[in-house]
Chain A
Amino acid sequence: MSATVQTLEAMERPPVSMGSRLEGELLEVSMGPQHPSTHGVFRMNVALDGEIVRKLKPVFGYLHRNHEKIGENTSYLGSMPYTDRLDYFCSMTNNWAYALSVEKLAGIQVPERAEYLRIILAELTRLQNHASLLGFLLNDMGAWGTPLMYAFREREKILDLFESLSGSRMMCDYMRFGGCRVDASDDWLVGAKKIVDRFPKFLDEFEELILGNEIVIGRTQNVGKVSAELAINAGVTGPMLRACGVNYDLRKVDGYGYYPHFKFRIPLGEHGDTYDRLMMRALEMRESVSILQQAFAQIQPGPVLNPKVKIRAFRPPIGEAYGRIEGPKGELGFYLISDGGPNPYRYRVRPPSFINLTILEDMCLGHTVADVMVILGSVDIVMGEVDR
């Protein structure tokens, strides 16, 4: 912790009526990038009045790896393994979003079985992302370890599925333009169905563990409220937006992939506080389980890769494309401009957690430092994606 002088003059004095113990004097504290609950190398400069946050400035870039410039200097296929490293919790959805935008750019058709496999993998990713997010959020609240270990136990089973299909637990690099790299065997589908069928049991237990807990309710309800207007204006997407009661889910709005063939509901919140955001994840996991069960029932044998797509020397026609999907964290989009060469002329990522993070100050003002950690946890950020 460090107190600095020169920026204090620049800060507004808090209203006297707020009951400040320091009588209007603000203390600037730098939280992070080594703080244990900042979810990676994230830093916030907070101006504190006693324990109340009066100003908050996020500082990021500690994990900047120049992802977009690397994407402009490698081939289209060469960027695929790099997208795994954006949001390393959900590499499957990152792969899908990138493959989708290249397929839009080059007008590539995807076989039916590949679309089903993509939906299965994306929903499995959503399950493991939301489960581990809830674990981390409780970790931030002080439930050290126990809920996180239960969540990770379930996540581990899904990661084993990813490993046996794609060869790697987290850096899957599984999707290709025009389909998926390898086909899933029948054994794999049976094993995945078994794990998905058992997942609601874990959800029941997990909800019993946390959702009725008085401490969780006390720490989350009416904490970090976001109004629907602010969320829409800031471009917030994903479970954070739906927690404010805005019905916006790209799986319904865009209907990409084979999602229009599936029946599922979009859970909506009401208050936009941390409790709603937490509930949103729990409810979305239930819907994901139902999507997965429909997919296992509907999937048919067939090819998984469009044979017309060249692996080497892939050159899409001149043009631009923006492909977006509903990732577990929100709208994940890739914008590509092609000049006909083997590399994209411009490669841009629209990362959901970075844009969701922009309203952090609005959520945190007036709350205590301990609440800031809970609010940050409920935004669901991964620094690999925020800094890129």
Chain B
Amino acid sequence: MIGSGILKGMAVTARNFVGSYFEKDRLITVQYPEERNPLPENYRNFPFLIYDGDDPHAGLRCVACKICEKECPPQCIYIVKSDDKKPDYMGKPQLYPKVFDIDISVCMSCQICVEVCPFEAIKMDKEFELSKRERFNHLLQRKEELSKSNDYYHKICPTDAAEVDAKLAEAAAKKKPAPAPSAPTPVSAAVS
């Protein structure tokens, strides 16, 4: 019978309409911003810099090696190395970035800077409500805005942050006791 296909389709529409009141599967709308879906832990948006402790300058992990600047596909990172050095988390004197800018209007959130960073200094943030009233200057994030504490990173990505901390502690433990036993051994070896 002609028209039966249309009637069947109408039945499907009716089932969806009525079902949207009862079945959670059919009602998926979320009333943002009052209601929010939780973000998955892997969610990434724009990069930020991590510092340990409370002082953003003293604890900054970045050593201005410029690898991320070189590898960034859309070239949105700008770094100027410092003239002096400051101790890093292991007490070794290292350079630090005098200028570290990320233009988030250019950044495409690809996470390559995070993957290439050998110092676990740059990570992906989860903040996405970043609308600004100015087009140019306000989307250029300076070092001061980019620096966020390790506690913040623990808050947004607990699993990854714990892994990174364990890795850094292991590296520090390997480095730190190494000079203590290795220095006396050659002496004792030479004596005996």
Contacts and interface: CB of A to CB of B under 8 A. Distances in A.
Contact of B40 (A79, A164, A208, A312): A164
B110 interface: yes
A168 B2 contact: no
B111 A173 contact: yes
B152 to A, nearest CB: 18
A168 B6 contact: no
Contacts of B71: 75, 77-78, 312
B23 to A, nearest CB: 11
Interface string A192-224: 000000100000010011101111110000000
Interface residues of A, number: 36
Interface string B1-44: 01111101101110110000000011010000000000011111
A217 B5 contact: yes
A160 B6 CA distance: 32
A79 B74 CA distance: 10
A74 interface: yes
Nearest to A206: B12
Interface residues of B, number: 32
A13 to B, nearest CB: 39
A175 to B, nearest CB: 12
A198 B24 CA distance: 13
Contacts of B16: 150, 205
Contacts of A77: 71, 112
Contacts of A173: 110-111
B73 A79 contact: yes
B67 interface: yes
A362 interface: no
B112 A163 contact: no
A210 B13 CA distance: 11
A215 B26 CA distance: 26
B130 to A, nearest CB: 16
Contact of B42 (A80, A156, A166): A166
Interface string B101-117: 00000001111100110
A212 B5 contact: yes
Given A77-B112, A164-B40, A171-B108, A156 B5 contact: no
A210 B42 contact: no
B110 A81 contact: yes
A153 B30 CA distance: 12
Contacts of A165: 42
B60 interface: no
Interface string A79-90: 111100000000
Contacts of A311: 115-116
A182 interface: yes
Interface string A146-183: 10001001001000100111111001010000000110
A156 B29 CA distance: 11
Contacts of A75: 71, 73
A163 to B, nearest CB: 6
A164 B6 contact: no
Interface of A: 74-75, 77-82, 146, 150, 153, 156, 160, 163-168, 171, 173, 181-182, 198, 205, 208-210, 212-217, 311-312
Interface of B: 2-6, 8-9, 11-13, 15-16, 25-26, 28, 40-44, 67, 71-73, 108-112, 115-116, 124
8 contacts: A78-B72, A78-B112, A82-B73, A150-B16, A160-B40, A181-B115, A209-B9, A214-B3
Given A167-B111, A198-B25, A208-B8, 7 more contacts: A75-B71, A77-B71, A81-B112, A150-B16, A171-B109, A208-B12, A210-B9
